[in-house]
Amino acid sequence: MSDLSMGEAARALGVSVDTLRRWDGAGKLATTRDERNRRRVPAAEVERLGRRPRKRAAPATSSVRGSARNRMDGVVRSVEVDGVMALVEVQAGPFTLVAAVTRDAVEDLALEEGSPITAVIKSTMVTLEQGSTGHPMA
């Protein structure tokens, strides 16, 4: 097998071309350059990186599978619809969650007080600030 283009190597490894560029810059991937100065990935590198251990799949906690791993079963405590949006309050064990969803979602899921529901939590960022007393545990 000959050298692969960055796109071909990325597809073979299941990563993005940007990831391959970062690996190249960090020395984790050996590349060559063709006559037009384009990066090429030797087949041996694709084979080496393809042997890396695969991550274990997260156990499914419901019949719906997805990439979110934080799922909490609960019961709808209240639904407040205002225009095209709604606030749904869910009691999930000792936790009270509030979700801002569309009116369509409320209707599609037939949400009403007492409905069983699974809250799927997937966030890219959570920001915390100290309380008004300035004490970190307040």
Q: What is the CATH number of the domain that holds 44?
A: 1.10.1660.10
- CATH assignment at residue 108: 2.40.50.100
What is the count of structural domains for the chain? 2
Give the pLDDT confidence of 12-65 residue by residue, as tens digits: 888 899 999 999 999 999 999 999 999 999 999 988 888 755 555 544 444 555
Query: Residue 130 falls within a domain, yes or no?
Result: no
Query: Residue 136 falls within a domain, yes or no?
Result: no
CA dihedral 128, 131, 135, 137 (to 10 degrees): -60
Q: Under a CB-based contact definition with an 8 Å cutoff, are residues 17 and 10 in contact?
A: yes
> Considering the entire predicted model, what is its pTM?
0.45
Residue 128 has pLDDT above 70, yes or no: no
Do residues 74 and 117 share a domain?
A: yes
Do residues 39 and 81 share a domain?
A: no
Give the pLDDT confidence of 90-107 residue by residue, as tens digits: 998 888 989 999 999 999
Helix (H, G, I), strand (E, B) or coil at 85: strand
Query: Residue 138 falls within a domain, yes or no?
Result: no
**Structural domain for 10, as ranges:** 4-50
Query: Residue 55 falls within a domain, yes or no?
Result: no
